[in-house]
Structure 1
Amino acid sequence: MTARNVLWIMCDQLRFDYLSCAGHGSLATPNIDRLAARGVRFTRAYVQSPVCGPSRMSFYTGRYMRSHGANWNQFPLRVDEPTLGDASKALGVRNVLVGKTHMRADDDGLDRLGIDRASDIGVHVSQCGFEPFERDDGLHPTASGGGRTRYDEHLRARGFGGANPWEDWANAGDAEGGLASGWLLAHADKVARVDEAESETPYMTRRAMEFIADAARDGRPWCLHLSYIKPHWPYIAPAPYHALYGPADVKPAVRDAAERVDPHPVYAAFMDLRVSRNMARDEVRARVIPAYMGLIKQIDDQLGELFAFLESEGLADTTLVAFTSDHGDYLGDHWLGEKDLFHDCSVKVPLIVYDPSPAADGTRGTVCDRLVEAIDLAPTIVDWFGGRPRPNVMEGRSLLPLLHGRTDLPWRRYAVSEYDFSMLEVRAALGLAPRDSRLFMLFDGRWKLVHAPGFRPMLFDLADDPDEVRDLGGDPTHAPEIARLRDLLLDWALRDHARVTMDDDAILAYGPATQLERGVMIGYTDEAEVAQARADYGLD
């Protein structure tokens, strides 16, 4: 059989509804739409945490946040945490990165075990199981010692000088009297100073194509994770993408004045964050959202180039393509900025999967409304390469049966997401200890429960309130629904998630015959009974 490959594309902070195939009225994404026409578009895909770091660690491990423990950005992933890279390596597959992971290595664990970071195993565990063909998390401001990435050197080599070309060129515009920093929302309508061809998205696309060409000489199957840095802030786009959209293309904010009347205390604290107060202002949205849309349009154009390259290399018929995002962006919806809570614009993501095999012909161009989680992609990739995802390690489920039209299979009843907000000022505003600064979401396809330890729950009925503007968590008439959903959350929380070293098959193979074969004779009365048991078990 011809070697199979995987192209796993992830955008950063791309909302599920900012694609034309998902119904956006102004933003045209024809290349992503064509991918959807060849594959399956999943309309209810949820991430396991609505912030970059923990969400990505769930994608890369196939495990919930409560399992891998990397609860927020810059929280290290344990040195022994199993990843997709481990499963790929066992199958002879190169697991390769171009772009962002937001993974931080477990330096304490590496030191404790005496692992050299430059060794093969040191690189493997320090890069979340990826071979870092091009690692760039996309945020390297001057204040934190930026200007050290390969992309920065690339910009310098092309004449974009200064101490930090990422900040001064790729993410800044020109203003009277100096630079207009893309960090500042007031400058989102400026044109980035960098040439479009040298901006982050085309650069990463070229690097992906360079890897694919290089891999053809290597000959091994590969899984390439092309992880775009955009449309994540700083919100500023190069020409011509800075001017493709304007205030007239900005959809009205999804919000209601009633949301600000006696809100849940945690929700109120998030609405009071600086980013929320500013993104709730219409004039800020009118500047930011056109830039956000332009950055998405640039990604779509670059994907057109990439997909054409796959065709020219003869790889389109053997490469599974997955397109998704690590989370969404509030963009002023619900009076919020960023992506910290569990409304669909934050926690639901686009997910399109194209399986080129004939088994998927019957589902091409369809949509699937099954509840899908980010942790499903890792076992899907393992399954595609002919491996068997280990359910005691990867908590997700392979999507291949759904891609192949197997609608008869039982599926999950709910999706779960978690958030640890201990690193935000919200924790101090609420007077909480770090261990108590947690939120849990459970969504069963209609009802969305947000469990906030120490506070009343939040509850939304997406059948009657698809915009999620009416919190029913304080209404006593909904107490039975809350109790039912809490029971489901408890069922999820009590499931074994730490037994990663003992495979299910090994447990199923263990029994009385195994003990007897090892000479363990617990409960037997005499030699005759042992002899009979050995005969019954076929040990003689």
Structure 2
Amino acid sequence: MSRPKNVLWIMCDQLRYDYLGCTGHPTLKTPNIDAMAKRGVRFSNAYVQSPICGPSRMSFYTGRYMRSHGSHWNGWPLRVGEPTLGDHLKKIGVRNVLVGKTHMTPDLEGLKMLGIAPDSIIGVHVAECGFEPYERDDGLHPTGRPRPKYDAYLRERGYEAPNPWEHWANSGADDDGSLQNGWLLVHADKAARVAEEDSETPYMTRRAMDFITEAEANGRPWCMHLSYIKPHWPYIAPEPYASMYGPGDVLPAVRSEQEKQSAHPVFAAYMDMRYSRNMSRDEAREKVIPTYMGLIKQIDDQMGVLMDFLETRGLLDTTMIVFTSDHGDYLGDHWMGEKDLFHDASAKIPLIVIDPSTAADATRGTVCDALIEAIDLAPTFIDYFGGKPPDHILEGRSLMPLLHGGRPADWRKVVFSEYDYCMQDVRLKLNQPIEQCRLFMVFDGRWKYIHASGFRPMLYDLLEDPQELVDRGEDSSCADVMARLQSALFEWALHPKGHITTSTEKIAAYAEKQLQVRNGILIGIWDEAELSAIRKKIGVPPA
């Protein structure tokens, strides 16, 4: 019997596109991820639909823009009834399984309104964003929250504490044994107290392999989302990764004084955020970035472990493998910390896709510069499993043609991303109404236009200014460019995919009748002759 197809969808959290060997980092060596790129296609122009964890992931998991799925911020539930990848895969007999992070919050009010218990089969499916949670761990575990399986694992290994995730895996120790809080940037150069094999990244790799081992006996095809928590903060790594890189590996910050002097009001407000002020300090960058690199190197080593496991079990020939991230990290570039805005350091992501089929042999090891959106993965997975992506629901496009060496003539000319800062104190600094805290990015491969509700636009020319240091939003010589991209944004905004309950095929079949039939009665007809002609046209016997 032929083995079923599978998808292994690997996502890192807050991994910049340019912090890999295959994307050009000069000192960070990632041979295992580079080897993955040689076996598949690396997409060099892939962008998220929102540069923050929750909304970005909800776009990945639904295949829909933030404006469509409605989850604008971390902790905002994806509403009950919003179609997910899990719903689409379930229809074609594929398990959609989670190992790691989703940042999903259940719509408890919606479940209650419909009388669905959150712990029921349907309730779990909805509450977990369409995933079967083999092991969920979102990280960021404050004391007092329910502990995940990882905390239980740590305790079993002797790491006793009220919060072992924080006190062992994400904290260091001073010479006298006192705790050094991993949340504090000043301690980013310290080693985590946990042994490397017990830290989060290898633990999640093992859990993924546990699932695969169990799934082989089941025989059903699966899509497993292996979602690592790192290199997201707390920026702290176990040895040997904690001391693998140093200040000499820190690249110069991409920023200029002009950015500060002529900053757009929203950009200026974000430069003034606490995390931006701190990450703009050279001292902070020299502590944080080597650890960030160490955490990435640990992920790369685990990719080697995982690929060897798949090869040993003969799964490489039937498993599509995707490696990506939910967004980037400014790391002090542009006087910024965190993510939030639309510079490439934040909104652009690494994306490697390995299609094991022979149809993809010609593209192995290539780099594709087509404009890609994160929402393209959902239709790609459905397409790979032999299903038909429901194009009246999904707003992304399957990457299968690109993986097989073609590029459709009608491939997108621009990509979009959105951001809603109503939950940030930036709104208070700018005195903006909640409904006006919206930013929209349109990028055509050269020009990046950002519409800021209530303010002037921002504009960057990545051909002449690839580091995005000069905002030309007030440059009158760019008026035609801004008008063109603004028109593209308005066209996109006016045409969301809202027909999620009625397929395109059903609409087309109805419209093709060119008549309105209600209860068997043809309306709006002038006389018997016209009625007879219409009946003949649609194949209805004469009365």
Question: Which TM bucket (shorter chain)?
Answer: over 0.9
Give the aligned partner of residue 392 of structure 2. 392
In the superposition, relative to structure 1, how do residues 119 and 527 fare at CA in structure 2: closer, same or farther (>3 Å)? farther
- The amino acid across from 1:79 in the alignment is V
Residue 496 of structure 1 deviates from its aligned partner by 3.1
In 2, Cα distance between equivalents of 1:417 and 1:259: 22
Give the aligned partner of residue 204 of structure 2. 204
Give the aligned partner of residue 160 of structure 1. 159
Contact 1:146 1:164 in 2 (8 A): no
Contact 1:147 1:163 in 2 (8 A): no
In 2, Cα distance between equivalents of 1:270 and 1:419: 13
- The amino acid across from 1:190 in the alignment is K
Counterparts of 1:49-68 in structure 2, within 5 Å, are 49-68=50-69
Structure 2 residue 463 is the aligned partner of structure 1 residue 463: yes
Give the aligned partner of residue 509 of structure 1. 509
Structure 2 residue 153 is the aligned partner of structure 1 residue 169: no
Structure 2 residue 348 is the aligned partner of structure 1 residue 341: no
In 1, Cα distance between equivalents of 2:408 and 2:385: 23
Residue 2 of structure 1 deviates from its aligned partner by 3.4
Give the aligned partner of residue 521 of structure 1. 522
Residue 390 of structure 1 deviates from its aligned partner by 1.2
- The amino acid across from 2:8 in the alignment is L
Contact 1:51 1:340 in 2 (8 A): yes
Contact 2:401 2:408 in 1 (8 A): no
Per-residue CA distance 1:442-496 (angstroms, 9 max, x = gap): 1011000111011111100000000000001112222222111111110110113
Per-residue CA distance 1:176-195 (angstroms, 9 max, x = gap): 46210110000000000001
Residue 115 of structure 1 deviates from its aligned partner by 0.4
Give the aligned partner of residue 307 of structure 1. 307
TM-score, length-scaled by structure 2 = 0.97
In 1, Cα distance between equivalents of 2:536 and 2:118: 54
In 1, Cα distance between equivalents of 2:426 and 2:474: 21
In 1, Cα distance between equivalents of 2:92 and 2:336: 44
Give the aligned partner of residue 264 of structure 1. 264
In 2, Cα distance between equivalents of 1:513 and 1:427: 50
Contact 2:44 2:350 in 1 (8 A): yes
User: Identity over the aligned pairs, expressed in percent?
Assistant: 63
Contact 1:147 1:166 in 2 (8 A): no
Contact 2:515 2:522 in 1 (8 A): no
In 1, Cα distance between equivalents of 2:121 and 2:528: 54
What value does the CA root-mean-square deviation take over the aligned residues?
Answer: 1.3
Give the aligned partner of residue 37 of structure 1. 38
Residue 314 of structure 1 deviates from its aligned partner by 1.1
Per-residue CA distance 1:234-253 (angstroms, 9 max, x = gap): 00000100010000001111
In 1, Cα distance between equivalents of 2:370 and 2:146: 43
In the superposition, relative to structure 1, how do residues 8 and 66 fare at CA in structure 2: closer, same or farther (>3 Å)? same
In 1, Cα distance between equivalents of 2:465 and 2:256: 12
Counterparts of 1:304-453 in structure 2, within 5 Å, are 304-453=304-453
In 2, Cα distance between equivalents of 1:428 and 1:256: 26
Per-residue CA distance 1:55-75 (angstroms, 9 max, x = gap): 000000000000001001000
Give the aligned partner of residue 14 of structure 2. 13
In 2, Cα distance between equivalents of 1:523 and 1:83: 42
Contact 1:516 1:534 in 2 (8 A): no
Residue 528 of structure 1 deviates from its aligned partner by 5.5
Residue 146 of structure 1 deviates from its aligned partner by 3.7
Is the deviation greater in 400-409 or in 131-140?
400-409
Give the aligned partner of residue 138 of structure 1. 139
- The amino acid across from 1:485 in the alignment is L
Give the aligned partner of residue 278 of structure 1. 278
In the superposition, relative to structure 1, how do residues 2 and 529 fare at CA in structure 2: closer, same or farther (>3 Å)? farther
In 2, Cα distance between equivalents of 1:57 and 1:291: 28
Residue 535 of structure 1 deviates from its aligned partner by 2.7
TM-score, length-scaled by structure 1 = 0.98
Give the aligned partner of residue 115 of structure 2. 114
- The amino acid across from 1:23 in the alignment is G
Counterparts of 1:476-515 in structure 2, within 5 Å, are 476-511=476-511, 512=513, 515=516
**Aligned length in residues:** 538
In 1, Cα distance between equivalents of 2:535 and 2:124: 49
Contact 2:108 2:118 in 1 (8 A): no
For structure 2, the residue ranges without an aligned partner over 5 or more in a row are none
Contact 1:517 1:539 in 2 (8 A): no
Give the aligned partner of residue 222 of structure 1. 222
In the superposition, relative to structure 1, how do residues 539 and 309 fare at CA in structure 2: closer, same or farther (>3 Å)? farther
- The amino acid across from 2:254 in the alignment is V
In 2, Cα distance between equivalents of 1:312 and 1:420: 45
Per-residue CA distance 1:71-92 (angstroms, 9 max, x = gap): 0100010011000000000000
In 2, Cα distance between equivalents of 1:130 and 1:38: 28
Counterparts of 1:186-205 in structure 2, within 5 Å, are 186-205=186-205
In 2, Cα distance between equivalents of 1:48 and 1:323: 17
